[in-house]
Structure 1
Amino acid sequence: MADFYDLLGVSRSASADEIKKAYRKRARELHPDANPDDPTAEAQFKDLARAYQVLSDDSQRSRYDQFGEAGVGGGTGGGGPSAEDMFGGGLGDIFETFFGGSGGGSPFGGGRQRGPSGPPRGQDVEVIVDVDFVQAVFGDQIDVELKLPVRCDTCDGSGAGENTQPVRCSECDGSGQVQRVRQSLLGQMVTASPCQRCGGLGEVIASPCASCRGEGRVTEDVTYKVDIPAGVDTGSTLRLTRRGAAGPRRGAKGDLYVHLRVRPDETYTRDGDDLVTEVPISIAQAALGTSMELETLDGTEDLVIPPGTQPGREFVLKQRGVHRLQGRGRGDLIARVRVDVPTKLSDDEVDMLSAYAAGRGESVGNGKEGLFSRIKSAFN
């Protein structure tokens, strides 16, 4: 989908009023009834409604500005209701919400008659899941357990008791909506709203199911197996379509959003797709060089420390880092040298270091008299 701001024709700093005015203008231009010969009009109109849905909500707009469509669920549907859910029905409802109707039909004279809006979609569900560091690097499959409204098995989601069926609502005569006429400066306007008696379903339950009390759904423990892609990090969100709460009376399920939180590792830290680990060596190893085995997430690697290595020097092991999320290859493993200075020395070690310092003309200790004894006592 194109950039939401471009769809509405506004700048990224546009105010809420400017966004609303721009939506009204574009909606009149793109409404399918105004473009009967354009087969893409309905899709464009839905994209426009999706853009307005996000940008008219401060929290969703903030996430979109930071992360794009991924921050609001991506694609159509996003992290909230769809354009049709938002306005309670089809495209006619969207237009009637902003501009009113005329004679029960479209403002452009389509004269469409709407039926019941149907059972509402279930709620979206969010859950935070902790994953291990290695699982985040290489990917894995985990179980996610939660309590969710699911379709009632007793009535198969209808909400009606045994050997009974829902009956037509007498308030709206099964249409799911009631129409009201009001006068305005533009003349007589007809608006439609969901029927309060049946909740817009067009049917009522005369004898509710004993298990779900007419809801058509009950709350149960549910376990989903969730694939964790390689390369995720804390803050990554997975969207599982139609794994959220079941809608009442056989309504569609909402979506499940799994927010990931990666447990820290004692050995490795993450810098984007790179891994960083510290390699402790002694003063002698730094000065004279050494070779050692370095444990990586892929196994053991040989690491050669050349003579004269300074603290903080980095050795890069290519393709030993994090798998790139939705991309190819991996980051690198950066082994950063840490030179450990001993805090306790034997008498012989003090003598050797003192002789070494004297040979290089270096001053050590904190006094002239009893220099070597002072050094020895400091380390004993």
Structure 2
Amino acid sequence: MSARDWIDKDFYRELGVSSDAGDAEVKKAYRKLARELHPDANPGNTDAEARFKAVSEAYGVLGDPEKRKQYDEARSLFGSSGFRPGGFGSGGNFDFGDVFGGQSGQPGFGAGGGGFSDLLGNLFGRGRAGATAAGSRPKRGADVETEVRIDFLEAVKGATVPLRLSSPSTCDTCHGSGARPGSIPKACETCGGAGLVSRSQGAFAFSEPCRDCRGTGRLIDDPCVDCGGEGVSTKIRTLTVRIPAGVEDEQRIRLAGQGEPGRHGAAAGDLYVRVHVTPHSVFGRSGIDLTLKVPVTYPELALGTTLTVPTLDAPVSLRVAPGTASGRVLRVRGKGVAKRDGQTGDLLVTLAVTVPPALDDAAKSALEAYVAASGDHDPRPDLTAMVQKARES
């Protein structure tokens, strides 16, 4: 993509966020749009696919702190509406020679001191002298993030899931050159390969991006038919992702080298897969421990019993001692989550007394007989004493 194309596009508008939106807000907006516009959710919808590519392109810039900084600075320099021939931003003329050519002699300008020259060299990958050198340096590809949903058992045991991605990739046909195989780009004769042209106005010299090569410094007479001369194409690719045992909800898994391709021979970025885990209907989870709530009757707690409780493997027997209180948590060791580092959690069983919604005559008579036999036993002596003490004070 050329410099003009990048700056002319409003990536904030594509994601529906303001220019001062925080990283979390940008990421949230991207995820929402990506889910709505993903090709899997809109089969055959070319408009949705185009919007999905535009949203992915916008997040590729705004989701990378360094790219976003360069994008914001460039828009601030050139105006949010892009380049204007002979002008700068919304005001009058500006000496582009100072910015690109180092003619001002001031520290921080031109090829000698970084500043604007380094910014534009990094941003556009072109320019004269130092800017051209900076733009040709290898640059690591951007990281990419996507999401996948798995069920509870897959998160505990581990799973292998297919993942479809739509992301920028180096064009397989031209291998990134932008030219049809068998041909090569040539230096732009108008700007001499610098990407900039100069003109004079009185005592001042002005520079602006070359219109013939769109500031790239090169011309492609025979562009690649697959990428249109960009050297990068958006592809839908399928990866097989191994989800490790014990992964937790919202955890990110890193796949090295599966992000956007690098520039000028640099390494590709990484792919981060954010995992969403669907809750289980019976089991819960606390770290590497599994949790389970088991209903019991009052006689089972009062007299003691042996319960059969499920685990993720096979049922186990659990001894409940006489006089166990409701809400007591019993531990079944080694029946939790087993992780790759050798740690294994436990199954935590919470006992909860259930009250029958209705009693027949026999059960009611038996319960009343129990109440009479238990005498004046007060199950809340501490609570009664606390209330009495509060009244006296």
| TM-score bracket for the superposition, by shorter chain length | 0.5 to 0.7
SS at match of 1:334: strand
SS at match of 2:276: strand
Contact 1:136 1:232 in 2 (8 A): yes
- 1:360 and 1:259 map into 2 onto residues whose CA distance is 57
- What residue is the counterpart of 1:314 in the other structure? 329
Q: Are 1:300 and 2:315 counterparts? A: yes
SS at match of 1:330: coil
- What residue is the counterpart of 2:111 in the other structure? 104
- Work out which of the residue numbers 340, 358, 371 in structure 2 matches 1:344: 358
Structure 1: which amino acid aligns with 2:360? Answer: S
- What residue is the counterpart of 2:148 in the other structure? 129
**1:250 offset after TM fit, Å?**
8.0
Deviations 1:225-266 (A, max 9, x none): 122233322221223233234468988644322111111111
Identical counterparts, % of pairs? 37
Structure 2: which amino acid aligns with 1:290? Answer: T
Written as runs of structure 1 = structure 2, the 5 A alignment for 1:1-380 is 59=22, 81=64, 100-101=107-108, 104-105=111-112, 115-116=132-133, 117-118=135-136, 123-170=142-189, 173-174=192-193, 202-246=217-261, 253-323=268-338, 327-361=341-375
| Cα 1:82/1:338, change in 2 over 3 Å | closer
Contact 2:252 2:275 in 1 (8 A): yes
Structure 2: which amino acid aligns with 1:268? Answer: F
| Cα 1:83/1:211, change in 2 over 3 Å | closer
SS at match of 2:254: strand
Contact 1:121 1:246 in 2 (8 A): yes
Deviations 1:123-157 (A, max 9, x none): 54322211211222233222111222333333233
Structure 2: which amino acid aligns with 1:330? Answer: T
**1:337 offset after TM fit, Å?**
0.3
- 1:255 and 1:287 map into 2 onto residues whose CA distance is 58
Deviations 1:14-49 (A, max 9, x none): xxxxxxxxxxxxxxxxxxxxxxxxxxxxxxxxxxxx
- 1:332 and 1:357 map into 2 onto residues whose CA distance is 39
**Superposition RMSD on alpha carbons, in Å?**
4.5
**1:305 offset after TM fit, Å?**
1.0
- 2:161 and 2:189 map into 1 onto residues whose CA distance is 49
**1:172 offset after TM fit, Å?**
5.7
- 2:167 and 2:24 map into 1 onto residues whose CA distance is 28
**1:208 offset after TM fit, Å?**
1.4
SS at match of 1:148: strand
**1:277 offset after TM fit, Å?**
0.8
Structure 2: which amino acid aligns with 1:156? Answer: H
- 1:261 and 1:247 map into 2 onto residues whose CA distance is 29
Equivalences, count: 275
| Cα 1:156/1:102, change in 2 over 3 Å | closer
- 1:205 and 1:358 map into 2 onto residues whose CA distance is 99
**1:214 offset after TM fit, Å?**
0.8
SS at match of 2:310: strand
TM-score, scaled to structure 1: 0.58
Structure 1: which amino acid aligns with 2:111? Answer: G
**1:219 offset after TM fit, Å?**
2.6
Structure 2: which amino acid aligns with 1:262? Answer: V
- 1:304 and 1:133 map into 2 onto residues whose CA distance is 27
